[in-house]
Amino acid sequence: MTGHGQLRVEAFTPSDAGLFQPSYSPEDRIRTYAVCGGVPYYLDRFRDNRPLAANLLSEVFQRTGSSTTKRS
């Protein structure tokens, strides 16, 4: 815990991050890690039952995606 009552969450390693998308090829797991950087929130948004391209379109390149949402 940090001094402000928040739990500090570290980024996952590439091998741990790959567990979020077990059906992806090793190459697509690396690509997903390159985009998400091991951040659990973003990794969770990339659905295993959807192709990487579909996840990229909905989560990265669409204005309503998780990586484009304006944060305060």
3-class SS at 22?
Answer: coil
* Distance linking the first and last C-alpha atoms of the chain: 22
Task: Assess whether pLDDT exceeds 80 at residue 8.
Answer: yes
More confident of the two residues 65 and 42: 42
Cα 9 from chain centroid?
14
> At 67, is the pLDDT very low, low, confident or very high (cuts 50, 70, 90)?
low
Overall domain count for the chain = 1
Sequence-distant (≥ 6) Cβ neighbours of residue 10 within 8 angstroms = none
- Model's pTM, two decimal places? 0.73
What domain range includes position 27?
1-72
Summarised one tens digit per residue, pLDDT across range 15-56 is 999 999 999 999 999 999 999 999 999 999 999 999 999 999
CA distance 64 to 28: 23
